[in-house]
């Protein structure tokens, strides 16, 4: 066996292993969980990890529940999506405003060069979801179920990724300063925003909240500072819902 | 989920450089013909390929496989096209650079084939699927051109 075939075989083994791990995760964690007691977070970290345990205790004072998302690179959009729908269900004025933004978003995407026939299905899927939210008998459980339907859920993710792109591209002059390693905002969107499964960062949160004109808070649970840090998008706004960020992952927090 | 994108695209007018139709009556199986781009070693060739779409297209990319023999760094020995946009993020069989462009659900048959045409004109020898072809392309252009010319000739005789 020559060196290159050996290397290829090793690559294949590593890939098979990765695929197995991916499947295991997929089967053990739903795309979106039901609400769990926030206390369940503490069990994920060693009891003697003073920084994490301390931060988790201070989370208890403000939040009662956590809704977990699968770690598949789309967690930000699913966490954002369910929170947005739950908020809209409670708030008719916001509902009508956001519905209009989404309804008109297709034309904005077409103006930006996206092909109508390719975005149509994604747009319709999100509009159908919004129409369901409006119905009196729509329960939170039904929304969670919707987000656990892989096809529907991914169509939502695809469309919200496009909205994120749209805001970045429309405000390219501003965002150009924050896209290290990319020639243009357009490239950044093609490489880091639009592919399903690409993880999201600060800049994605700024762009999506900017497009929808919604306000969110992200609580950061990491090893860096002594206290929990919280960021609002946009800054100084009154948040409509809260996400929990841990390095590489977003979940939902509830009071 | 029924896929209307593929149906819609099937009815659109053809684009320069390639033609496309269904293999059978199955909307998920396309047969395409790529014309070797001018000013490249592939000029004059008529390369047949199949595009197999997964049931969850466009969430996931199709697989493209040449039916005509083609010697190219990014086409493996079975004819499979191995370019990063036909792979989802995280799939790294060919050691694509971290920042390489991955599959996006807004790609269409047209944009895929345009990428393949640009791949013919400009091979990526950093993450090759055919190591011999990558080596020849890098170190022995004359040999590379000769082997490609053979494929071009064969593609012309098998095309009728």
Of the pLDDT bands very low, low, confident and very high (cuts 50, 70, 90), residue B95 is low
End-to-end CA distance of chain B: 37
Task: Please say whether the beta carbons of B101 and B110 come within 8 A.
Answer: no
Of the pLDDT bands very low, low, confident and very high (cuts 50, 70, 90), residue B99 is low
Residue percentage of chain B with pLDDT more than 70: 89
According to DSSP, residue A42 is labeled G
Residue B61 has pLDDT above 80, yes or no: yes
Instruction: Compute the distance between CA of residue A131 and CA of residue A124 in angstroms, rounded to an integer.
Output: 10
For residue B38, give both structure tokens. 């001018």
According to DSSP, residue B33 is labeled E
Interface touch B1/A15, C-beta < 8 Å: no
| Chain A CB contacts of B8 below 8 Å | 117
In chain A, which residue's Cα lies nearest the Cα of B6? A118
In chain A, which residue's Cα lies nearest the Cα of B8? A117
Q: Which of A249, A242, A221, A201 is nearest to A25 (CA)?
A: A249
Task: Please say whether the beta carbons of A174 and A207 come within 8 A.
Answer: no
Interface touch B4/A11, C-beta < 8 Å: no
Interface touch B101/A191, C-beta < 8 Å: yes
Options 2.40.50.140, 3.40.50.300, 1.20.1300.20, 1.10.357.10; CATH for A32-254 is: 1.20.1300.20
DSSP characters for B73-142?
Answer: TTB-TT-BB--GGGS-TT--TT---TT-----TT--HHHHHHHHHHHHHS---SS-SSHHHHHHHHH-HH
| Chain A CB contacts of B88 below 8 Å | 195-197
- Tell me the average pLDDT across A78-105: 97
pLDDT (0 to 100) of residue A94 = 96
Domains of chain B: 4-158 (3.10.110.10)
For residue B87, give both structure tokens. 């792979």
For residue A93, give both structure tokens. 């004025």
- Tell me the average pLDDT across A71-99: 96
- Tell me the average pLDDT across B139-148: 96
Helix, strand, coil content of chain A in percent (nearest 5) = 60, 15, 25
Mean pLDDT (chain B, rounded): 88
Interface touch A194/B99, C-beta < 8 Å: no
pLDDT (0 to 100) of residue B94 = 67
| Chain A CB contacts of B99 below 8 Å | 181-182, 191
According to DSSP, residue A38 is labeled G
Residue A28 has pLDDT above 80, yes or no: no
Instruction: Compute the distance between CA of residue A45 and CA of residue A113 in angstroms, rounded to an integer.
Output: 46
Strand-pair partners of B52: B29, B63
* A244: region left, alpha or beta (phi > 0 left; psi from -120 to 50 alpha): beta
| Chain B CB contacts of A15 below 8 Å | 91-93
Of the pLDDT bands very low, low, confident and very high (cuts 50, 70, 90), residue A222 is confident
Residue A171: enclosing H or E segment and its boundaries? Answer: none
Residue A195 has pLDDT above 80, yes or no: yes
Check CB contact of B132 with chain A, cutoff 8 Å.
no
Check CB contact of B89 with chain A, cutoff 8 Å.
yes
Neighbours of A160 (CB within 10 A): 25
Positions of B marked active-site: 82
Interface touch A11/B93, C-beta < 8 Å: yes
In chain A, which residue's Cα lies nearest the Cα of B108? A118
pLDDT (0 to 100) of residue A9 = 74
Indicate whether this complex's ipTM tops 0.95: no
Check CB contact of B55 with chain A, cutoff 8 Å.
no
Task: Please say whether the beta carbons of A193 and A212 come within 8 A.
Answer: no
Interface touch A154/B104, C-beta < 8 Å: no
Check if A72 is active-site: yes
| Chain B CB contacts of A115 below 8 Å | 106, 108
Decide the pairing of beta strands A241-246 and A216-220: parallel
Residue percentage of chain A with pLDDT more than 70: 95
Task: Chain A: give the shortest CA distance to residue B28, in Å.
Answer: 16
Q: Which of A32, A92, A99, A101 is nearest to A67 (CA)?
A: A32
- Tell me the average pLDDT across A107-123: 95
- Tell me the average pLDDT across B9-32: 82
Task: Chain B: give the shortest CA distance to residue A98, in Å.
Answer: 24
Task: Please say whether the beta carbons of B66 and B130 come within 8 A.
Answer: no
For residue A199, give both structure tokens. 């993880």
Q: Which of A240, A221, A199 is nearest to A38 (CA)?
A: A221
In chain A, which residue's Cα lies nearest the Cα of B1? A151
Bigger pLDDT: B11 vs A165: A165
Inter-chain Cβ pairs, chain A and chain B, closer than 8 A: 68
Instruction: Compute the distance between CA of residue B134 and CA of residue B125 in angstroms, rounded to an integer.
Output: 5
Q: Which of A103, A155, A148 is nearest to A130 (CA)?
A: A103
Residue in A11, A121, A190 closest to B4 by CB? A121
User: Whose structure tokens read 């390639």?
Assistant: B18
């Amino acid at each position: 066996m020559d060196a290159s075939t050996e290397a290829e075989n090793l690559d294949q083994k590593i890939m098979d292993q990765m695929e197995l791990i991916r499947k295991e995760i997929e089967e053990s964690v739903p795309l979106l969980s039901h609400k769990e007691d926030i206390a369940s977070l503490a069990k994920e970290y060693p009891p003697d990890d003073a920084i994490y345990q301390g931060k988790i205790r201070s989370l208890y004072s403000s939040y009662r529940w956590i809704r977990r998302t699968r770690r598949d690179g789309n967690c930000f959009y699913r966490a954002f999506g369910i929170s947005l729908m739950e908020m809209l269900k409670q708030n008719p004025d916001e509902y009508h405003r956001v519905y209009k933004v989404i309804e008109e978003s297709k034309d904005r995407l077409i103006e930006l060069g996206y092909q109508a026939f390719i975005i149509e299905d994604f747009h319709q899927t999100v509009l159908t979801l919004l129409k369901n939210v409006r119905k009196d008998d729509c329960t939170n459980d039904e929304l969670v179920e919707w987000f656990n339907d892989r096809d529907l859920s991914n169509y939502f993710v695809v469309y919200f990724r496009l909205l994120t792109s749209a805001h970045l591209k429309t405000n390219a002059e501003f965002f150009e300063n924050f896209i290290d390693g990319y020639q243009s905002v357009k490239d950044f969107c093609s490489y880091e925003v639009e592919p399903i499964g690409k993880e999201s960062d600060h800049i994605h949160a700024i762009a999506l909240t900017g497009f929808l004109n919604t306000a969110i808070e992200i609580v950061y649970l990491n090893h860096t500072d002594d206290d929990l840090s919280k960021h609002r998008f946009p800054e100084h706004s009154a948040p409509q819902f809260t996400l929990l960020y841990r390095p590489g992952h977003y979940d939902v927090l509830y009071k | 989920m029924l896929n209307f994108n593929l149906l819609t695209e099937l009815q659109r007018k053809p684009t320069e450089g390639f033609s496309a139709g269904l293999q059978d009556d199955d909307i998920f199986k396309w047969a395409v013909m790529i014309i070797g781009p001018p000013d490249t070693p592939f000029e004059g060739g008529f390369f047949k390929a199949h595009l197999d779409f997964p049931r969850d297209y466009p969430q996931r990319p199709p697989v493209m496989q040449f039916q005509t023999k083609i010697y190219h760094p990014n086409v493996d020995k079975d004819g499979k096209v191995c370019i990063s946009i036909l792979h989802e993020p995280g799939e790294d069989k060919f050691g694509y650079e971290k920042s390489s462009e991955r599959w996006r659900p807004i790609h269409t048959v047209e944009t895929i084939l345009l990428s393949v045409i640009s791949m013919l004109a400009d091979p990526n020898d950093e993450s090759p699927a055919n190591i011999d072809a990558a080596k020849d392309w890098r170190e022995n252009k004359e040999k590379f051109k000769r082997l490609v010319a053979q494929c071009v000739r064969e593609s012309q005789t098998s095309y009728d």
